[in-house]
């Protein structure tokens, strides 16, 4: 069978940097082809070349689609052939309806007047195809991220897609939504639609992919065929990072490293929070929570379990209303009513959304690192630029932030390096208790390992570390203790080494079922 798409020897330079050199990629009709590689390996650049964002002439090499050479001038050219790309950051307009979004560029119209009933009818058909049970008139802002992703796919289907490119489609989805999305890809495959799936989640990749191409430093390093049987995740990781990761998680031996886990230093009592808009909806239900000195505690749970809400409500009441409860740090009750007070009390919260809530993307590394603790580099409120530079350079070296200098804009760093900048910012406040919310979201395997090492070092230095993560293997790999949250309550607790994904899921299911039974006495 002829290949649907063939990219031959693609090379692409940006000023001074070689982003791609001689990359080959072949996609057969009806194939699910996974594209993996560390951040900065060139996956997104390759897809931009394919979709015409980088037009013909700005790269070397050839693109063949249906065995014919194509020279895309812009994204319209590639879309005309049925190559549709869905970016990681969804391109939906929040205050328009689902139907309006689906037919944004090319609505069914007669003489330029939009045929509303046709829009509605066809939107319903497309939504049925992707398995989304929503009214097409619902505003996109009112549905969850998982459903928004499905709307994007419906939008792609409206354009007679032949090759669907998904860039990290499941990065912000719950397990359930991710599974549904992957099933949808398999369904498309049955209909003869090929897809290219870019993902960091290797378990998903090995589940659905027919072939896997690994990119490293702008080159194709390996293409694996999965038809003979699933490819081991370790093999993928090895070719991604070019080193044998004996373990994906660093060794954690709190007693061996000198500082044993100590006394309880962070204590939350009877914490309750209500939804900021719906005052009668209790999101956090009178929970208790404790962390010891030098301990890493994971909070597991599904999307919407209330983990981020719990953390942010503690951190200076940044989320919710009618917040009640007590917090003690090192045995003393502390006032956490504003972010400033929380920081002063020794609390730090590293957000799950580093671009929107964590960084000043237009500012350099230096300014970001000192932002939460400016007085430390500013005697008498005047910034000492030399002292500031030293602090920034010190963290850049310690955290191994890869950049040409501390004057580099954080918006131009890779995800892993951005996360290290955010971590540096909070370490510079010298916190006693650190809450890390999805600390490895959207960053590559190598950088993840480095983040895990940093977390270990923090715990060894006697800090209480709380890790919120949707990736259960990660929690099991790095935590001393895992607390399971569901519907705003803690429903289970396991020592890290003994914990399994099954145990966590069982705890969640048991609680959910009990809650449902409680509703129907």
SS3 of residue 172 by DSSP: coil
CB of 350 to another protein, least distance (A): 10
What distance lies between CA 421 and its chain's CA centroid? 17
| Beta carbons within 8 Å of 241's beta carbon, 6+ residues apart | 38, 216, 445, 446
390 scored as a contact of another protein (CB under 8 A)? yes
| Degrees, nearest 5: CA angle 415-420-424 | 150
Q: Does 401 bind another protein (CB under 8 A)?
A: no
> What sign does the dihedral 18-21-26-32 (CA atoms) show?
negative
Q: Which helix (H) or strand (E) holds 458?
A: helix 445-460
- Judged by CB under 8 A, which stretch of 194-202, 229-237, 313-321, 509-517 contacts another protein? 313-321
Q: How many residues bind another protein (CB under 8 A)?
A: 41
Compute how many other C-beta atoms are within 10 angstroms of the C-beta atom of residue 427: 24
Q: Which is nearer to another protein, 320 or 358 (CB)?
A: 358
Q: Give phi and psi for 60, each to the nearest 5.
A: -105, 155
Distance CA 323, CA 332 (A): 19
Residue 415 as a binder of another protein (CB under 8 A): the answer is no
The distance of closest approach from Cβ of residue 396 to another protein in the complex, given in angstroms and rounded to an integer, is 7
- Judged by CB under 8 A, the residue of 119, 193, 406, 451 near another protein is 406
Query: Measuring CA to CA, which residue among 336, 348, 404 is closest to residue 373?
Result: 348
User: Per rule CB under 8 A, is residue 360 in the interface with another protein?
Assistant: yes
CB of 359 to another protein, least distance (A): 6
Q: Is 358 in the site for another protein (CB under 8 A)?
A: yes
Report d(CA 15, CA 163) in Å as an integer.
30
Piece of 144-152, 368-376, 449-457, 474-482 that binds another protein (CB under 8 A)? 368-376
> Which of 206, 308 has the CB closer to another protein?
308
Q: Which of 75, 226, 378, 489 binds another protein (CB under 8 A)?
A: 378
- CA atoms of 422 and 455, how far apart (whole Å): 13
If one asks whether residue 441 binds another protein (CB under 8 A), the answer comes out as no
- At closest approach, how far in Å is the CB of 261 from another protein? 26
323 binds another protein (CB under 8 A): no
Of residues 111 through 170, those in contact with another protein by CB under 8 A are none
Per-residue x/- track, 242-281, another protein (CB under 8 A): ----------------------------------------
Residue ranges in 279-308 that form contacts with another protein under rule CB under 8 A: none
CB of 348 to another protein, least distance (A): 10
Measure the CA–CA gap between 186 and 288, rounded to whole angstroms: 43
Closest C-alpha among 350, 299, 347 to residue 489 = 299
Q: What angle do CA 163, 164, 166 make, to 5 degrees?
A: 145
Residues 6+ apart with CB under 8 A from 394: none
Measured between alpha carbons, how far is 278 from 424 in angstroms, rounded to an integer? 36
* Residue 405 found at the interface with another protein (CB under 8 A): yes
**Nearer to another protein (CB atom), residue 1 or residue 382:** 382
Q: Closest CB to another protein among 323 and 357?
A: 357
Name the pairing type of β-strands 83-86 and 282-292.
Answer: unpaired
User: Minimal distance in Å, beta carbon 236 to another protein?
Assistant: 34
Candidates 311, 345, 359, 435; binder of another protein (CB under 8 A) is 359
In whole angstroms, how close is the CB of 410 to another protein at the nearest point? 10
For 359, the token pair is: 């960084």
Choose which of 75, 118, 389, 489 interacts with another protein (CB under 8 A): 389
Taking the C-alpha atoms of residue 37 and residue 223, their distance in angstroms, rounded to an integer, is 12
Binding site for another protein (CB under 8 A): 315-316, 318, 338-340, 342-343, 349, 351, 356-363, 367, 371-372, 374-375, 378, 381-383, 385-386, 389-391, 393-394, 396-398, 405-407, 425
């Amino acid at each position: 069978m002829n290949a649907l798409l063939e990219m031959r020897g693609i090379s692409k330079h940006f000023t001074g940097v070689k982003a791609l050199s001689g990359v080959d990629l072949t996609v057969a009709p009806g194939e699910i082809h996974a594209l993996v590689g560390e951040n900065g390996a060139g996956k997104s650049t390759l897809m931009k070349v394919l979709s015409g964002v980088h037009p013909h002439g700005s790269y070397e090499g050839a693109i063949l689609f249906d065995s014919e050479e194509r020279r895309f001038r812009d994204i319209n050219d590639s879309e005309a052939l049925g190559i549709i790309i869905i970016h990681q950051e969804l391109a939906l307009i929040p205050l328009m309806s689902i139907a309006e979004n689906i037919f944004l560029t090319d609505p069914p119209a007669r003489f330029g007047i939009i045929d509303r009933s046709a829009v509605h009818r066809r939107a319903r058909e497309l939504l049925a195809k992707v398995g989304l049970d929503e009214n097409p008139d619902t505003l996109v802002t009112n549905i969850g991220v998982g459903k928004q992703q499905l709307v994007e796919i419906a939008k792609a289907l409206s354009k007679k897609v032949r090759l669907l490119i998904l860039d990290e489609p499941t990065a912000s989805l719950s397990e359930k939504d991710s599974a549904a999305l992957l099933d949808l890809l398999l369904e498309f495959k049955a209909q003869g639609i090929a897809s290219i799936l870019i993902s960091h989640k290797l378990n998903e990749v090995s589940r659905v992919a027919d072939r896997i191409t690994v990119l490293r430093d702008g080159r194709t390093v390996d293409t694996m065929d999965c038809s003979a049987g699933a490819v081991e995740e370790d093999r993928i990781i090895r070719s991604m990072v070019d080193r044998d990761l004996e373990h994906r998680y660093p060794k954690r031996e709190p007693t061996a490293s000198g500082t044993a886990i100590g006394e309880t230093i962070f204590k939350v009592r009877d914490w309750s929070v209500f939804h900021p808009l719906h005052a009668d909806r209790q999101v956090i239900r009178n929970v208790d929570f404790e962390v010891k000195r030098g301990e890493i505690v994971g909070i597991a749970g599904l999307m919407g379990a209330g983990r981020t809400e719990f953390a942010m409500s503690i951190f200076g009441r940044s989320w919710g209303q009618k917040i009640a409860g007590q917090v003690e740090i090192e045995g003393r009750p502390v006032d956490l009513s504003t972010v400033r007070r929380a920081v002063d009390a020794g609390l730090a919260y590293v957000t799950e959304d580093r671009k929107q809530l964590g960084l000043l993307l237009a500012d350099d590394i230096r300014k970001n690192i000192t932002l939460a603790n400016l007085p430390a580099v500013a005697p008498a409120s005047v910034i000492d630029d030399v002292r500031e530079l030293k602090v920034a350079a010190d963290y850049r070296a310690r955290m191994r932030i890869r950049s040409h200098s501390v004057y580099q804009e954080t918006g131009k760093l890779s995800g892993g390096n951005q996360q290290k900048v955010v971590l540096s910012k909070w370490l510079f406040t010298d916190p006693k208790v650190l809450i890390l919310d999805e600390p490895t979201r959207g960053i590559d395997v190598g950088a993840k390992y480095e983040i895990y090492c940093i977390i270990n070092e923090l715990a060894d230095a006697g800090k209480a570390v709380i890790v919120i993560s949707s990736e259960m293997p990660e929690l099991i790999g790095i935590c001393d203790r895992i607390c399971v949250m569901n519907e705003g309550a803690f429903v289970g607790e396991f020592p890290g080494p003994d914990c399994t994904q099954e145990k966590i899921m069982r705890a969640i299911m048991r609680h959910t079922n009990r809650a449902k039974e409680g509703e129907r006495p």
